[in-house]
Structure 1
Amino acid sequence: MKLFGLLGYPVGHSASPAMMNAAFQAQNEAAVYLPFAVPPEQIEVALNGLQALGAVGVNVTIPHKRSAYAWVKQRTAEAELVGAVNTVRFTADGAIGHNTDVSGWWKSVAPYVQSNQPRVVIIGAGGAAMAILAAIASQRPSAHVVMAARRENAVDDLRQLFAHRLTIHYATWEARASEIAQADLIIQTTPIGMWPAIAQSPVEDAGVFSAGQVVQDIVYRPRQTQFMRLAAEQGATVVDGVSMLVYQGVDAYEWWLDKKAPVDTMFAAVNDKLVAEQTEHE
């Protein structure tokens, strides 16, 4: 039995175990994917233990991505670009760190991004924004990127990190609505609107959105956030956070096992889990 898992703190909310175990079952893979709640001070102990047990690989989520980056012996180009690891593969020569958040996010929006020079607004400047910037730098380096965030210093750090690959502009939190109104692609990366505060949104005026825009909220609880609802009212194309979750999982699965992942099965498993959760809360 091949052992895989998810290391985070907490991890009880994650849909990844349901998604990955459904994929293993669909392909008759003798494997199991387990959630491991690991306090920050124990992450190296956990990784060493899993390697000793013969685990094939693990995903790593908040707050361990940078610690995993430091721990692995080798890193892929994607992990180096972001400075974080969300996927680890254990080998006889030591662990390899990868980052599928980059490719996973791009796959979630790529069908809707036709321009080579899109005007992009990213709301927030945390870890998720970093992976998104890495994807834009790789796929649309000529994009006009604006980051609307409360902390300018956080945007400055990202600007320096990507200075040789991408031009990033800062917008104050107060200016976010006017920037959104001018954008082709808007990505909401903050926790605003996440369950249980589902009535909240980074913007309250649907009038900032328009038809032709692509609007994504990487929050997936609820599946359709208030932010997405406002955008959809104005005819914008909306993309939920589930697609990013699934595609990063797809890329991890394929990187670990060197075989095509059952994408439809993985989407269905996440959808079933979220529907069951919603039913419980109603």
Structure 2
Amino acid sequence: MTQITGKTGLTGLLGSPVAHSISPLMHNYSFQALDLDYVYLCFDVKEQGLKAAVEGLRALNVRGFNLTMPDKNRVLEYLDDLSCAARLIGAVNTVENQNGRLIGHNTDGIGFMRSAKEQGLELKGKTMTLLGAGGAATAICAQAALDGVAQLHIFLRSTSAHLPRMETLAENLSSTTDCCLQIHDIQNLSALQNAAEDSALLVNATSVGMAPDCENCLLPEDFCFPSNLTVADIIYNPWKTKLLSLAENAGCKTFNGYSMLLYQGAEAFRIWTGRDMPVGKVQNYLQMQE
């Protein structure tokens, strides 16, 4: 690891839990590879401590930081400005410090769509089903619509506090893109079954199934996955969630959130440093750590 000096710039991750995150490995390796005097740390910050944490980081003049669940939506009220994408989505996963002004960005959608492309998926003109309505879900929705997905089925709990924001996003995207977005109650299993049968890709964009609650799953064990459906989970710890295991058993192709994390991190790295993350080298390095 690069020696920490009096000039070392601080970057990091806010959220809870964060101990499992591979972001420190990814960013610190990249800083060292490009001879940049920065360090990346994790801070376990729940929603009730977010305001104090953000103001503390501003006072410390950090270069920037990432946010993960449950802080991506709440952080908006503590920032000075938002990028166009972050304003549209209503969620931030990357903050840039511009001379004391904190600017919110969202790189999740870019990261996810690039990871889907890496799997050989061509989603332009296709139908996609998404589970969830939080920060990552809204980012994926927006980027999918912008990238030419023809129809998007969004499933969430009818009591979700995120429902109004998702309804507004769906309305905005329907009027500004060619994508048709429909919102459904996740308890409507017949609608979910029909959507899955029409879709090229089904995505869990929630934290359900993340360690340590690995036995949780939004779909019942007897859900009928079409064998030609690809199923993705934005979780990467565990590597194979219960959802992905059920889908694999049904003959579906699956992938987790590892590549999404890598590619959204690469965009955050560029925002903070103005340099391109050495993604290929990072992938090799992370594989060596497993």
Normalising by structure 1, report the TM-score. Answer: 0.85
**Identity across matched positions, percent:** 32
Alpha-carbon spacing, 1:51–1:127, altered in 2? closer, same or farther (3 Å):
closer
Count of paired positions: 272
Q: How does 1:1-282 map to 2 (within 5 A)?
A: 1-92=8-99, 94-111=101-118, 112-140=120-148, 143-151=150-158, 154-155=162-163, 157-166=165-174, 167-172=180-185, 173=187, 174-175=189-190, 176-201=192-217, 202-205=219-222, 207-211=224-228, 213-271=229-287, 275=290
Q: Secondary structure at the match of 2:98?
A: coil
Alpha-carbon deviation of 1:26? Answer: 2.3
Q: Which has the higher helix share?
A: 1
Alpha-carbon deviation of 1:121? Answer: 0.9
Once the two structures are superposed, what CA deviation does each residue of 1:85-143 show, in whole Å capped at 9, x if it has no partner? 21111122612111111211121113433242211111233332111111112112x52
Please tell me whether the aligned partners of residues 69 and 79 of structure 1 are also in contact (alpha carbons under 8 angstroms): no
Alpha-carbon spacing, 1:43–1:209, altered in 2? closer, same or farther (3 Å):
same
Alpha-carbon deviation of 1:253? Answer: 0.5
Normalising by structure 2, report the TM-score. Answer: 0.82
Alpha-carbon deviation of 1:31? Answer: 1.3
Query: What is the alpha-carbon root mean square deviation over aligned residues?
Result: 2.5
Alpha-carbon spacing, 1:191–1:177, altered in 2? closer, same or farther (3 Å):
farther
Mapped to 2, the partners of 1:171 and 1:77 lie a distance apart of 27
Please tell me whether the aligned partners of residues 177 and 203 of structure 1 are also in contact (alpha carbons under 8 angstroms): no
Unaligned runs of 5+ in 1: 276-282
Unaligned runs of 5+ in 2: 1-7, 175-179
Alpha-carbon deviation of 1:229? Answer: 3.1
